[in-house]
Chain A
Amino acid sequence: AAGVIQSPRHLIKEKRETATLKCYPIPRHDTVYWYQQGPGQDPQFLISFYEKMQSDKGSIPDRFSAQQFSDYHSELNMSSLELGDSALYFCASSLGLANNEQFFGPGTRLTVL
């Protein structure tokens, strides 16, 4: 069965650079969530989209922005990267907002040097 696809899987950036993370949800899933997991931490919700509209916003820095496109894939844009942005970034998808299944992608490991 198709799973959530994230690219790239690993990314190394310098401070103050920009990064774009991509997420391709499971086919027919219309909802995408982004989470950030720092080293040794639990995942923290950043932002979500339902039917290409932002549905909720968590602790996402103003330096970050995201959107969901017409094909339901989503991109997380991160600018002015800081050392503290080094983390594992997960995208998850579901069918609708209150679904009992939320499937995670393999994550993008971002390292900021």
Chain B
Amino acid sequence: AQKITQTQPGMFVQEKEAVTLDCTYDTSDPSYGLFWYKQPSSGEMIFLIYQGSYDQQNATEGRYSLNFQKARKSANLVISASQLGDSAMYFCAMREGPSSNTGKLIFGQGTTLQVKP
């Protein structure tokens, strides 16, 4: 069964510094996708970044980048130049590939990030 683990319940970072949020996963499917979402206190789920298991390059979206280490089954999110507005809960999620005929996401427990001024 697939599983997502986020081992950091809470993180602090100084404004303008970079921070890495950890995510490890477990799946037997060779084809899968990894997602990161941001959930501010208002509750909405904001899509940040996606990494496919066959992607050769690490995904980047503005200040967000995904440090994908396939052999270690990790997909850490790196946020550069943190801003106060980055304070939120961050979820890592995984979707198994087409072979499983489902697009559902399995989420990790989440990491609460606090950015200090």
Contacts and interface: CB of A to CB of B under 8 A. Distances in A.
B101 A97 contact: yes
A58 B95 contact: no
A104 B107 contact: no
Contact of A42 (B46, B91, B95): B91
B52 A45 contact: no
Contacts of A31: 103
Contacts of B110: 42
Contact of B97 (A50, A88, A94, A98): A98
B104 interface: yes
Contacts, number: 69
**Counting chain A CB atoms within 10 Å of each CB, which of B33, B47, B101, B105 scores highest?**
B105
Interface residues of A, number: 29
A99 B35 CA distance: 11
Contact of B45 (A55, A56, A107): A107
B109 A55 contact: no
B102 A97 contact: yes
A106 B43 contact: yes
Tell me the interface secondary structure of chain A in the complex: strand
Q: Which of A43, A44, A99, A105 has the most CB of B within 10 A?
A: A43
Nearest to B109: A42
B88 interface: no
A103 B103 contact: no
B64 interface: no
A68 interface: no
A48 interface: yes
B101 A55 contact: yes
22 contacts: A33-B104, A35-B105, A42-B91, A42-B107, A42-B109, A43-B107, A45-B104, A45-B106, A48-B103, A55-B101, A55-B102, A88-B43, A97-B98, A98-B98, A102-B103, A102-B105, A104-B37, A104-B44, A104-B45, A104-B47, A105-B44, A106-B44
Interface of A: 31, 33, 35, 42-45, 48, 50, 55-56, 58, 88, 90, 92, 94, 96-107, 109
Interface of B: 33, 35, 37, 43-47, 50, 52, 91, 95, 97-98, 101-110
